[in-house]
Structure 1
Amino acid sequence: MNVDLIKILAVGSGGFIGAVFRYLISVFAISQAPDSKFPYGTVAANLIGCLLIGLLAGLFELKSWGNPEFRLFIFVGILGGFTTFSTFSHETFLLFENGKILLSLANLAVQVLFGLIFVWLGYQLIRLFS
């Protein structure tokens, strides 16, 4: 295995930035609906992340942006640290486990369906303005 320290630092520093922003977005989203059982913080982080990855993927692919290390910093680091599939899965499981079947299904639908739509939308916006 060939380990490249620059790539590791790119992913690690990006992950730190993404995780901090995920926390801040989650705190803000939860503060807007403090009594809700719905995981608005995770939804906000994941949908914003989906829009951003669509926009950035469009820029990187259509405009040939960046070197491999910068791409790792953005996609694996920042966006990987910002979005969270494991938290989404755990919160959906807990909603289901606690008898909140409709909320668990809504969480699934919102994050998966709208996540795909937001990735597509971001990519299309870049394509439109290119």
Structure 2
Amino acid sequence: MNVDLIKIIAVGSGGFIGAVFRYLISLFALSQFPDTKFPVGTITANLLGCLIIGFLAGFFEIKSWGHPELRLFIFVGILGGFTTFSTFSHETFLLFENGKLLMSLANLGIQVVFGLIFVWLGYQAVRLFG
């Protein structure tokens, strides 16, 4: 296995940045809805991450923009650390496990359907304005 230290540093440092921003965004979202049992922090981070990845992927793919290490830093590192499928899955499971079937289905629908829509919107923004 050929390991490229620059790529590892790009992913690792980006992951640190993304995880810190996810924590801060989650805190902000939860401060806006302090009494909710709904996972608004994860939803906010995941949907914002979907919008950003769609927008940036548009620049990288449609506009042939960026360097491969920059792409790793942003997509795998920052956005990989910022969005979180495992937390989304766990929170959905806990809602279901605690008898909140409608909330678990709503969480599933919101994040999957709107996540795809937000990625599409990011791409469209690049096509329209880029």
Shorter-chain TM-score category? over 0.9
Which string of whole-angstrom CA distances, capped at 9 and with x for unpartnered residues, describes residues 56-115 of structure 1?
000011211111100000000000000000000000000000001110000000000000
RMSD (Å) for aligned C-alpha atoms: 0.5
Q: Residue 114 of structure 1 aligns with which residue?
A: 114
Paired-residue identity, %: 82
Q: Residue 100 of structure 1 aligns with which residue?
A: 100
- Give TM-score, length-normalised by structure 1: 0.99
- Give TM-score, length-normalised by structure 2: 0.99
Q: Residue 50 of structure 2 aligns with which residue?
A: 50
Aligned residue-pair number? 130
- Which structure 1 residue ranges, 5 or more long, are not aligned? none
Q: Residue 36 of structure 1 aligns with which residue?
A: 36
Q: Which runs of 4+ in 1 moved over 2 A?
A: none
CA distance in 2, matches of 1:3, 1:34: 45
